[in-house]
Amino acid sequence: MADTDNQSGAIRLQAYLARCGVASRRASEAVILAGRVKVNGRTVVELGTKTRDGDVVEVDGRRVEPEERKLYLALHKPEGYICTSSDPQGRPLAKDLLPESVTERVYNVGRLDLRSSGLIIFTNDGDFAARVGHPSADIEKEYLVDSTVPIPDRLFEDFRNGVTIEGVFYRCSAIERLGRKSLRVVLVEGKNREIRRVFSAFHLHPQRLHRVRIGPVLLGDLKEAASRPLTREEIDALLSSAQGER
């Protein structure tokens, strides 16, 4: 289904929220279903709702409008920060590490869990986030992992060929040993906590889980807690790599 009706100019509410920098389209659906959105003073919880020019859209009581400046940022997330817009437990937010000059409402494309570190991308471009962050995008993500104990050869073999854990199938795109307790692994599907679940199945615990690449974007020498804008070439390469929403 198209986001915009070409005849009336109406746009699906979740797409409008994404263009306002509230969240990605998929995450905006959850915001709508939670009853946090009003259109012209009326709370809306139907995902099929569309908004038109002149409508007043509010999220959590604050009016939101499409932002003129599109931002695409790479952040080196330290361990101990979470990738979410807010946290009832008061834990540090990765987005708060971005420079004060970033006044737009940006959100992360994909996630790194609390104990993981490394590269994460932020944007306020909902169309970009939908394409790059969609499960079908087939964009590689590369990690360096250190274990608390030596890693058995069997893990490499099973992860490379595919292993089913509690009914979920996991298979990496590439994997290589870097040392007795360390490895490099490349994922494409990026299922939730995939590396940690595979390690756990072998009674292992990652001492460090560090993402160093998302598709063509490298973490490089970006310092911890620092960020930088993506280059136009990186943005175009990410979009070219993504299969897009199906």
Digit-coded pLDDT (tens) for 205-239: 999 999 999 999 999 999 999 999 999 999 999 99
Whether pLDDT at 138 is above 70:
yes
> Between the CA of residue 196 and those of 11, 146, 214, what are the distances in Å?
39, 11, 18
- Angle between helix 126-133 and helix 232-241 axes, rounded to 10 deg: 50
Q: Which residue type occupies 208?
A: R
Report the relative pairing of strands 37-39 and 42-43 from DSSP bridges: antiparallel
Q: Residues 53, 113, 138, 158: which is the catalytic one?
A: 113
| Helix spans in the chain (H) | 13-19, 25-33, 126-133, 153-161, 194-201, 232-241
Q: Which residue ranges form the domains of the chain, and what is each CATH number? A: 11-63 (3.10.290.10), 72-135+224-241 (3.30.70.580), 140-214 (3.30.70.1560)
Q: Please tell me the pTM assigned to this model.
A: 0.78
Helix, strand, or coil (residue 199): helix
Q: What is the mean pLDDT of residues 116-132?
A: 92
Burial (CB count within 10 angstroms: exposed 0-12, middle 13-18, buried 19+), residue 114: middle
pLDDT score at 8: 58
Q: Quick check: is 96 catalytic? A: no
